[in-house]
Structure 1
């Protein structure tokens, strides 16, 4: 508290203005699709979710206690953003800093994604906040390690990991900057506290067959390497996160020396993250927000450099002001689309299309095929429940694949919205040109959790070898085989579907007509012949009641 009272009033004035601006922005800007998805998380609190740890859902849940609507999703992001700025200020030791408060706020405000996460509620929001918490605690730990500070640091390490799995990079590179921590008993205590606090998520992962880890490591969509899209795109992201100030920000990084362990940690963290994702760019497209962690150490590094270098101080302030003006204009455009002329962002028109579909279908459940984005957005703006995202072999699994949302729509009359509908009963065209095609289905039945298990590690393509497959029925009811069709989806080396062919597997036990509830049935089949080239994998898929095939088996490599 003593540190907070030493902060000048001018600092709190700028902070209050920024906080109020973020509150207003949050209230008048429609949700983006990822925010709607994380709002859906928060409707059923758990220790983990398909794509991410649970911290983002907790932020939404807490926000909903104070407000409704968009602010009920974003309020805690505004709070964390304001506190984060205080934490960044406290990590700067230069005694001249009080003379340059406005320069500090221009620096922070001019960082594009750091600005955006001042109100958007995404996993990176708590990641940024707890990175600052961890670094400030580590700064005090270096001065005087003790039992209390070790416990606090351990809690923040766990909070980092509860925010996003990328947080492991923060912890790892700080450790790498000071290997003597491996012999420090208080550092080991911090690790023990972090692991203890993280046990509920470890258990959730175990209970859910490590679904999140498998997705991020093996199943996340990817494509063929492109130097322009991947590696050049990575360098474009390095510029985008700082805008016009980027030359001076990176110059500050190059000029800063690790004269003490804390500055060394900041440098290691920045270079470590940048090198890690540079190497990753040769395998997959690096999303801009993946490198946002470096904004935290670079605020401290850049501002310290500004205080020591008059030219950097002047140019970062001038270019930062231009950045700020552009950002304010774009933020206004997020809330009011006409300012962006013909450009539609995902925060535009969602309430309108959701209400238009509700007016058409009434209060019956709505199922969106292959859209974990549209399903929660529709539910948020219409307050309609249940909604469901039914995923087929051309998409990917998500939270709707592992929760109980399918059970809530089974057996009901539903509106089914799919871009694959050939003869839709109704359509709706968004202002940005997006088209929704829907039809009505009575007594809807789907069994997307049927699991097809093939034990072989690799199969020879176009062979006549009989392959064993186990079909596990996790439902509390027998499923008539007449309702099901089985198929094989061939995929390329990047797991993009190439061809899907129907198969007729044969039961290896006595003749069976059903998949028994909570039981496994053994079948054999032969891979259908294909003339397609560049086949890297196949997947066993199942169609129920003439729906498109689902995602029932894992991708099996073929020779």
Structure 2
């Protein structure tokens, strides 16, 4: 770790860092960044979709800067540090004569380049993967308590970045099963678990909401080869652009001649195989496989140093890749460079100002948009927003935090595509049309929880035992609530709704008691038009579209 790095390396590194700072300052946020910025406004040990490290990066960035740089500054810092660590992972002494070639290689990797400034969960995931691999490399040479503890800390940091990080840990373990006999390896695991304990406790306190959503509740579609498996292979190419043939050629030709190289190969092939199998069940997003960029930088650069013909062509194609990436990066700032293509970093200030000009300083409720709600709050200077999620959408951070209380009882501007009595409308630069109206005394009860005592249902008119838990600190009048059954496809997409009238077990019940469960009998109507795989019991309040009040319940 004490290796002396040549001055030329730092020249390139400084240029990379400054470029990312400039890009960060002049590129508007993308929607996911706005969502994670919203996370950082109320720090916790976990959030609905991801562990908390991405929010921590933004929180630290905001201590130094405002605006976009106040979201991205730490991403620029750790992305630069990541290149240093990747350099230290390469042992060959001749590498000091090929520093520009190293930077051409890493700069030409499309998503590795993008995550040099975007603040997303993959940004710390990439950084801590490099940290983990460098520490593991030293652990293999000299296992001792200090290295084992550091390895455990980095394992926890990986898992605090993104749940996919478990693949990094598992595939490195599989590359060296003798680790199960090492007391130092077990110490690393213990340290990791201790460091990760606060997040485990957060999951427990929140009924494992993140795990349940990712594994069981998110909608899907029927398998399509072009969209799923072929799309997965397209993603493998998109990661590297024009250099992809050389990168995968280097991978195929590299052998695991020692335990560390074996770990790099297991990690790369393991992630590819895992998501290839996953592609038969769901669409694999490009960023899910970005983690292979870290071991491949080491594998490919070592291969380039051994095979000068490959190095020559990697430089040629990498330079073309780099110029294309620079052009696209400029297009993130100035849309006309991308012709008619509208990316999500374009026009956000414009549409926020347009809506704000109509509604003024009052809070804004977006129906079914955890993306637009935080973007509006960010660019409006902190005007409170809320994403009210209905049965046609999905749960998110707004479903579990206290943001509902920020708009309760207030006059709000309500923006949705599910309303017909709108008093104004607004068309965003991307063509999305919002219909809006004003609600003088906004109220919603999206945290009401519906469960059936029965684990499955039949659509035969039978009665079922419905339990409705009121988590709020106030009673809710039953007259304000309308119950429905939402019918879901086998892939958990909502097909339609039917109104139901649950009968309270307790007669003459006027309200749902605060912090208590109320019992009903309910009949589930038939739904014959399409095949039904699941149902939800959902609740509409104050004339709003029904929420996501129960988990999907299987139909037998």
TM-score bracket relative to the smaller structure: over 0.9
Displacement over 3 Å in runs of 4+? none
- Which shifted more, 230-239 or 448-457? 448-457
Question: Which of 168, 187, 209 is residue 211 of structure 1 equivalent to?
Answer: 209
Q: Which runs of 5+ in 1 are unaligned?
A: none
The aligned counterpart of 2:489 is 492
Q: Does 1:301 align with 2:303?
A: no
Kindly state the Cα deviation for residue 426 of structure 1 after the two structures are TM-superposed. 1.3
Distance 1:457 1:314 in 2: 62
SS in structure 2 at match of 1:229: coil
Distance 2:269 2:526 in 1: 50
The aligned counterpart of 1:422 is 420
Distance 1:351 1:455 in 2: 48
The aligned counterpart of 1:139 is 137
The aligned counterpart of 2:118 is 120
SS in structure 2 at match of 1:212: helix
The aligned counterpart of 1:82 is 80
The aligned counterpart of 1:520 is 517
Question: Which of 462, 466, 471 is residue 465 of structure 1 equivalent to?
Answer: 462
Question: Which of 46, 51, 54 is residue 53 of structure 1 equivalent to?
Answer: 51
The aligned counterpart of 1:40 is 38
SS in structure 1 at match of 2:226: helix
Question: Which of 530, 546, 551 is residue 549 of structure 1 equivalent to?
Answer: 546
Distance 1:320 1:362 in 2: 49
Kindly state the Cα deviation for residue 534 of structure 1 after the two structures are TM-superposed. 1.2
Kindly state the Cα deviation for residue 422 of structure 1 after the two structures are TM-superposed. 1.5
Question: Which of 518, 522, 539 is residue 536 of structure 2 equivalent to?
Answer: 539
The aligned counterpart of 2:507 is 510
The aligned counterpart of 2:150 is 152
Q: Given that residues 26 and 119 in structure 1 are in contact (C-alpha distance below 8 angstroms), is that contact kept between their aligned partners in structure 2? A: yes
Q: Which runs of 5+ in 2 are unaligned?
A: none
Distance 1:347 1:157 in 2: 33
Kindly state the Cα deviation for residue 431 of structure 1 after the two structures are TM-superposed. 2.4
Deviations 1:361-384 (A, max 9, x none): 111110000000000000000113
Residue-pair matches, total:
556
Q: Does 1:102 align with 2:106?
A: no
Deviations 1:231-270 (A, max 9, x none): 0000000000000000110111111111100000000000
Distance 2:217 2:527 in 1: 24
Q: Given that residues 418 and 545 in structure 2 are in contact (C-alpha distance below 8 angstroms), is that contact kept between their aligned partners in structure 1? A: no
Distance 1:104 1:2 in 2: 20
Distance 1:453 1:293 in 2: 39
Q: Given that residues 129 and 168 in structure 2 are in contact (C-alpha distance below 8 angstroms), is that contact kept between their aligned partners in structure 1? A: yes
The aligned counterpart of 1:2 is 2
Distance 2:420 2:371 in 1: 22
Q: Given that residues 152 and 188 in structure 2 are in contact (C-alpha distance below 8 angstroms), is that contact kept between their aligned partners in structure 1? A: yes
Distance 2:198 2:430 in 1: 43
Distance 1:487 1:391 in 2: 16
Distance 2:501 2:49 in 1: 34
Kindly state the Cα deviation for residue 385 of structure 1 after the two structures are TM-superposed. 3.0
Kindly state the Cα deviation for residue 528 of structure 1 after the two structures are TM-superposed. 1.2
SS in structure 2 at match of 1:346: coil
| Map 1:242-281 → 2, pairs under 5 A | 242-281=240-279
SS in structure 2 at match of 1:538: strand
TM-score normalized with structure 2 length: 0.99
